[in-house]
Structure 1
């Protein structure tokens, strides 16, 4: 039996943090990044007729340290007992943090993105199959890259042109469905932490 199964049972408390509405940590320094499919700039397009986004509040992540987006207790809940490792997500040119697990079966990274919003998941800039979610009351998009069963992406709309991006990666044959169940739970914990700061 997979050792991750008891973890998923322990995460049931966080399951209420997200709902479907339609639609890295690194092992061996593996840091898969999203791949742009267009040459367009990374800024979110603006339009005077664009409807306002329905979110509980605006969270400016420009000054948020991604390594501080999870408390020690939250990290322990996800088995991320290793020291968080800060870095820069080259795709977004934004700060990121890798969270590692002792068992190295899977890991995750959190990026505080200030260069684009979640429309990047749906406007053709990112080659993923998007699925609309709600995480902690915030609009979100879950993305699976076709043909890649080792990673699941999730972006949470926290402010205009900004998002919290969570990437969950497998290092020991963790199924993609499991990675994509974990992503909203991790994102829900992140949103809970930064919304209360």
Structure 2
């Protein structure tokens, strides 16, 4: 009985040892280090000149005709945007399209804030009126899109275009096109006023 118990105890250990490959039997690629995961950081090209936003009225950037060309038919409303260090901002609604445009003149931080890994956004480098810019999509916020234009050291123009509660929600790609069109118009106006 004692020998039977010893064999019963030793047998599973022998099976495990027999099934375990020795170091020479294992494929060598198992010992290879894992490849490093690398991502290419986005780099913005240099801006052609500085367009300072310190003394600009955000609701005066686009004229009434320019707003109408963007289908923004309501009067602009000024406010302060606390998310951007109390930046001067302006919202313009459209009863034509049901969309909303926001222009914020950020003077307390540079556009590179959107390139930081903590921003947790999807950014794509574009050009707006010859200035480096980013189209920014925030995961989970498909009802809006922003364009961030690098206008000066430590300053950027924030252009947000969002669905204002339409019966049929617009695709985010359409909202991004709206943000890019509005950013082009706003930058053209800022460059004319320089």
Q: Structure 2 matches for 1:143-162, cutoff 5 A?
A: 143-162=136-155
> Which gives a bigger RCO, structure 1 or 2 (Cα 8 Å, sep 6+)?
1
- Moved >3 Å (runs of 4+): none
Provide the residue aligned with 2:53 in structure 1. Answer: 61
Structure 1 unpaired stretches of 5+: 1-22, 24-50
Name 2:62's counterpart in structure 1: 70
Q: TM-score, normalised by structure 2?
A: 0.72
Contact 1:132-1:141 within 8 A present in 2 as well: yes
C-alpha displacement of 1:150: 0.2
Match of 1:177 in 2: 173
Alpha-carbon offset, residue 104 of structure 1: 5.6
Give the RMSD, CA atoms, in angstroms: 2.0
Q: 1:12-51 residue pairs with structure 2 within 5 A?
A: none
Contact 2:101 2:162 in 1 (8 A): yes
SS in 2 for 1:63: coil
Rg larger for = 2
What corresponds to 1:83 in structure 2? 75
Task: State the Cα deviation string for residues 40-95 of structure 1 (Å, max 9, x = none).
Answer: xxxxxxxxxxx996222211101111101111111001111111000011111200
Give deviations 1:132-161, integer Å, cap 9, x for gaps.
Answer: 111000000111011221010111000000
Check whether the contact 1:105–1:174 (CA below 8 A) recurs between aligned residues: no
